[in-house]
């Protein structure tokens, strides 16, 4: 028995040796073939021409010369496309056997892109295009007319708009009585796919009629937080369909206050009031993350998530003290002031959104009592701000909302004044 095992072991050893020799022979043959392989010939890019400006954002067509393989090997082309010319290898890649390609993804506005092509044969030979081309896309289009100037929802301001279930939603808000100038509050909910056709989901949700609330989409639900129904609120409601609303808590442990701000960041809802910072993972149990953040207590500021950080912009700390400062935080606790004097004028009750990797500031109030504006500013870093337009075509306004949806920047409703006026029910789009 022992002898049989030894003979079997020797047989396996012979097989391994033969297999190893055969493998080495194959590797040597492959290496020899690769050494004898001639890579595809040099070639140049054709279109989009190098240095193109004001390029459109969709259906971009790229083309290049054919790379000839004198060995007759099949050639494929790898198209690399991105914003960093030194790191195109990790950018968007398309593999094709053609000498042209149509980019179906939408490019960003006001962005310089770089592209090149690498020709490869099936034996490991490769040749880069003779050059790297660049092009710059067009600026944002500021449309001179709204999508609709009299939407099916009533004129209003101090409402909220969010994105949920791939739809745009408008929640609650207020208008002014044209006779007494008293507030008329709403607790209605509307949604739309296109910004023109608005569907009323309910004209009287279970939460009380209110304005100045906060709303977010979180954990597969829509949320309404606080606001004012005649008195400041600190209740929290949620809904999965916009029609049925569930009271999550009637008395959250944050202070009831007008116009809290809310965002979703790192899988939590974050709430901002004056200079307090709160968060929650379930909408019921709220944690005071920072009782007095580095920025001065204020109202009428905006909060956004941009480049994986929380950004707080402008507002006013007293009747006369309007701000144009910019702050950011990676954790809600430690705040860094990016600038104390941005290029845009001091303002409050403006709107902010992120569009095409820019942070946008839109409209607001430039003076303590009057001085509404409809200007638009943008920034890549929160420090350097560029004026997009002094006139957004929509009327000057405050208490409006702006949001990014369906590759467009939207401005919805708002009020012509801090103190009076029925407000607007128009919908504007930029792309």
Scored b (16 or more CB within 10 A) or e, 311-339 reads bbbbbbbeeeebbbbbbbbeebeebeebb
Strands 351-355 and 358-365 come out as: antiparallel
H helices, E strands: number in the chain: 1, 32
CA atoms within 13 A on the CB side of 83: 10
Q: Where does the pLDDT of residue 16 fall: very low under 50, low under 70, confident under 90, or very high at 90 and above?
A: very low
Cα distances (angstroms) measured from residue 50 to each of 44, 56, 85, 119, 140 = 11, 15, 13, 19, 22
| pTM recorded for the entire structure | 0.89
Residue 104 sits at φ, ψ, to 5 deg, of -85, -25
pLDDT over 60 at 5, yes or no: no
Assign 9 to helix, strand or coil. helix
Nearest Cα residue to 253 out of 222, 230, 223, 276: 276
CB neighbourhood size of 80 (10 A): 21
pLDDT over 60 at 73, yes or no: yes
Assign 64 to helix, strand or coil. strand
Cα dihedral 190→195→198→203 (10° resolution): 20
At 32-64, the pLDDT tens digits run 446 689 999 999 999 999 999 999 999 999 999
- The confidence score (pLDDT) of residue 119 equals 98
Question: Which H helix or E strand runs over 20?
Answer: helix 2-36
Assign 110 to helix, strand or coil. coil
- Lowest mean pLDDT of 29-38, 111-120, 361-370, 395-404, name the range: 29-38
CB neighbourhood size of 35 (10 A): 7
Q: Where does the pLDDT of residue 178 fall: very low under 50, low under 70, confident under 90, or very high at 90 and above?
A: confident
Average pLDDT over residues 340-361: 98
At 301-338, the pLDDT tens digits run 999 999 999 999 999 998 889 999 999 999 999 999 99
DSSP string, 153-213: SPPBBS-EEEEETTEEEEEEEEEE-TTT--EEEEEEEEEESSSSSEEEEESS-SSPSBBS-
Residue 31 sits at φ, ψ, to 5 deg, of -60, -40
Residue 62 CA to chain centroid, in angstroms? 27
Q: How far apart are CA 182 and CA 196, in angstroms?
A: 29
Q: Which domains does the chain have, with CATH numbers?
A: 45-137 (2.60.40.10), 160-430 (2.120.10.80)
Average pLDDT over residues 347-352: 98
pLDDT over 80 at 164, yes or no: yes
Q: How far apart are CA 362 and CA 344, in angstroms?
A: 10
The answer to whether residues 132 and 114 touch, using CB atoms and an 8 Å cutoff, is yes
């Amino acid at each position: 028995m022992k002898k049989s095992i030894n003979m079997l072991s020797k047989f396996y050893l012979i097989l391994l040796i033969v297999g190893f020799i055969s493998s080495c022979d194959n590797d040597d043959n492959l290496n020899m073939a690769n050494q004898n392989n001639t890579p595809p010939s040099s070639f140049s890019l054709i279109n989009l021409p190098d240095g193109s400006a004001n390029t459109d954002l969709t259906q971009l067509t790229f083309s290049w010369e054919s790379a000839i393989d004198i060995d007759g090997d099949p050639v494929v082309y790898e198209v690399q496309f991105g914003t960093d010319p030194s790191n195109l290898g990790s950018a968007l890649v398309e593999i094709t056997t053609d000498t042209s390609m149509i980019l179906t993804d939408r490019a960003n506005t006001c962005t310089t892109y770089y592209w090149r092509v690498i020709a490869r044969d099936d034996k490991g030979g490769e040749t880069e295009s003779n050059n790297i081309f660049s092009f710059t896309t067009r600026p944002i289009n500021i449309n001179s007319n709204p999508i609709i100037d009299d939407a099916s929802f009533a004129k209003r301001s101090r409402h909220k708009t969010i994105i949920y279930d791939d739809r745009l939603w408008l929640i609650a808000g207020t208008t002014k009585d044209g006779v007494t100038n008293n507030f008329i509050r709403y607790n209605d909910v509307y949604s739309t796919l296109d910004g023109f056709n608005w569907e009323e989901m309910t004209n009287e949700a279970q939460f009380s009629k209110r304005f100045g609330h906060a709303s977010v989409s979180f954990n597969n639900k829509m949320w309404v937080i606080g606001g004012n129904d005649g008195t400041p609120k600190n209740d929290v409601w949620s809904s999965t369909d916009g029609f049925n609303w569930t009271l999550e808590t009637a008395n959250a442990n944050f202070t009831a206050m007008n116009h809290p701000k809310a965002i979703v960041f790192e899988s939590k809802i974050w709430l901002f009031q004056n200079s307090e910072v709160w968060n929650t993972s379930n909408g019921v149990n709220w944690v005071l993350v920072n009782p007095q953040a580095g920025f001065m207590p204020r109202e009428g500021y905006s909060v956004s998530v941009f480049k994986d950080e929380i950004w707080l912009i402008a507002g006013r700390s007293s009747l006369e003290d309007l701000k144009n400062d910019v702050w950011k935080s990676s954790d809600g606790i430690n705040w860094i002031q990016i600038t104390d004097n941005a290029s845009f004028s001091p303002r409050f009750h403006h709107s902010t959104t992120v569009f095409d990797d820019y942070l946008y500031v839109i409209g607001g109030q430039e003076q303590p009592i009057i001085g509404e504006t409809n200007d638009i500013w943008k920034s890549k870093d929160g420090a350097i701000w560029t004026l997009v337009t002094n006139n957004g075509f929509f009327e000057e306004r405050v208490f409006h909302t702006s949001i990014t949806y369906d590759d467009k920047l939207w401005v919805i409703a708002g009020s012509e004044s801090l103190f009076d006026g029925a407000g607007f029910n128009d919908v504007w789009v930029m792309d």
